[in-house]
């Protein structure tokens, strides 16, 4: 029998009154689940995504459910600093400030090193690692201008710790996100900002099914202690925790949301 996920956890106002920016938040993946969970916890959200159609659809659905005054969006390609800056400026314009930034944007792919091109390597690194750098830098600049306070949560991956064939570019990028998280946390502590990361293993969503073979998904699922993949909202719950006051003394940490560190 296929293991079932636990019941969905209702909101508890853990982020009431806060404003959050979430990148790559259109659709049914971790970013979309995080935006929804933040709204359920009382936050206002500004979401960005490079896919304009999906972003528009997600924004309309969230605004209808939670209120147009609590949801704003802007197309954002994290490889373009101007678009990143515009997304953060929208948060300040609509809500007067910023409290939380979730760097979820990332790009994968599969290729053995002997076949990998410079372009394949560079594209994954530019979105996944450099994009996280650009957004973290923008977040820290705004937090510092606001006289401190604020939270950054980066989306890393267990593949930053372990090896997997065909994933050298993605693994290098995610390991870089972990190192960036640690270094940024030390610097940001000077003005009261926390920087942490989550490292999921396998969170299922429609886009993943399109770009991954059934055989690989089955193999990855077998590694999980619970015998199932995570639901995106289960990863989002940990992001909520790291963004909330319950994690007030945590910074520079990467939390494995899986059994891969067991």
- Long-range contacts (CB closer than 8 Å, 24 or more residues apart) made by 124-130: 124/169, 124/170, 124/173, 125/169, 125/172, 125/173, 125/176, 126/79, 127/78, 127/79, 128/170, 128/173, 128/174, 128/177, 129/172, 129/173, 129/174, 129/176, 129/177, 129/180, 130/78, 130/79
Which whole number is the average pLDDT over 101-121?
Answer: 97
Residue 208, number of CB atoms within 10 A of its CB: 16
What's the rounded Cα separation, in Å, for the pair 162 and 260? Answer: 9
pLDDT at 212 over 90: no
Which whole number is the average pLDDT over 109-135?
Answer: 97
pLDDT tier, 207 (very low <50, low <70, confident <90, very high otherwise): low
Contact 175, 160 (CB under 8 A): yes
CA distance readout (Å), 71 to 65, 103, 162, 232: 10, 17, 37, 20
> Which of 45, 36, 48 shows the shortest CA–CA distance to 17?
45
**pLDDT at residue 8, rounded to an integer:** 94
Domain locations in the chain as residue ranges: 19-257
**pLDDT at residue 66, rounded to an integer:** 98
pLDDT at 213 over 70: no
Which whole number is the average pLDDT over 116-130?
Answer: 98
Which tens digits make up the pLDDT trace of 12-21?
Answer: 999 999 999 9
pLDDT tier, 217 (very low <50, low <70, confident <90, very high otherwise): low
The fraction of the chain above a pLDDT of 90, given in percent, is 81
Global pTM?
A: 0.92
**pLDDT at residue 202, rounded to an integer:** 81
Contact 66, 41 (CB under 8 A): no
pLDDT at 159 over 80: yes
Which residues have a catalytic role annotated? 170
Q: In what order do the strands lie in the sheet with 71-75?
A: 71-75, 44-49, 19-22, 100-103, 151-155, 194-200, 254-257
pLDDT at 166 over 90: yes
What's the rounded Cα separation, in Å, for the pair 201 and 192? Answer: 30
CATH topology of domain 19-257: Rossmann fold (3.40.50)
Contact 41, 11 (CB under 8 A): yes
**pLDDT at residue 228, rounded to an integer:** 80
**pLDDT at residue 148, rounded to an integer:** 79
> Which of 88, 106, 105 shows the shortest CA–CA distance to 97?
88
Contact 27, 54 (CB under 8 A): yes
pLDDT tier, 147 (very low <50, low <70, confident <90, very high otherwise): confident
Which whole number is the average pLDDT over 117-130?
Answer: 98
Which tens digits make up the pLDDT trace of 225-242?
Answer: 777 878 999 999 999 999
**pLDDT at residue 258, rounded to an integer:** 84
Which whole number is the average pLDDT over 20-35?
Answer: 96
> Which of 218, 111, 87, 99 shows the shortest CA–CA distance to 166?
111
On average, the pLDDT of the chain sits at 92
Contact 232, 176 (CB under 8 A): no
Contact 202, 258 (CB under 8 A): yes
Which tens digits make up the pLDDT trace of 49-83?
Answer: 999 999 999 999 999 999 999 999 999 999 999 99
């Amino acid at each position: 029998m296929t293991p079932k996920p636990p019941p969905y956890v209702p909101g508890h106002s853990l982020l009431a009154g806060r404003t959050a920016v979430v990148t790559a938040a259109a659709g049914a993946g971790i970013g979309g689940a995080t935006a929804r969970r933040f709204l359920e916890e009382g936050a206002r959200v500004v979401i960005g995504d490079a896919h304009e159609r999906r972003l528009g659809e997600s924004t309309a659905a969230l605004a209808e459910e939670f209120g147009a005054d609590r949801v704003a969006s802007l197309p954002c390609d994290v490889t373009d600093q101007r678009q990143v800056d515009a997304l953060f400026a929208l948060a300040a314009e609509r809500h007067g400030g910023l409290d939380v930034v979730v760097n979820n944007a990332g790009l994968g792919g599969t290729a053995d090193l002997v076949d990998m091109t410079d372009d394949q390597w560079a594209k994954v690194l530019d979105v996944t690692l450099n994009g996280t750098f650009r957004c973290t830098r923008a977040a820290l600049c705004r937090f510092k201008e606001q006289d401190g306070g604020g939270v950054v949560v980066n989306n890393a991956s267990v593949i930053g710790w372990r090896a997997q064939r065909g994933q050298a570019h993605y693994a290098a990028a995610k390991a870089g996100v972990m190192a960036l998280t640690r270094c940024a946390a030390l610097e940001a502590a000077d003005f009261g900002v926390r920087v942490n990361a989550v490292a999921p293993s396998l969170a299922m969503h429609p886009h993943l099914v399109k770009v991954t073979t059934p055989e690989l998904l089955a193999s990855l699922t077998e590694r999980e202690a619970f015998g199932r993949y995570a639901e995106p909202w289960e990863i989002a719950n940990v992001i909520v925790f790291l963004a909330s006051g319950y994690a007030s003394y945590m910074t520079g940490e990467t939390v494995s949301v899986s059994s891969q560190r067991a």
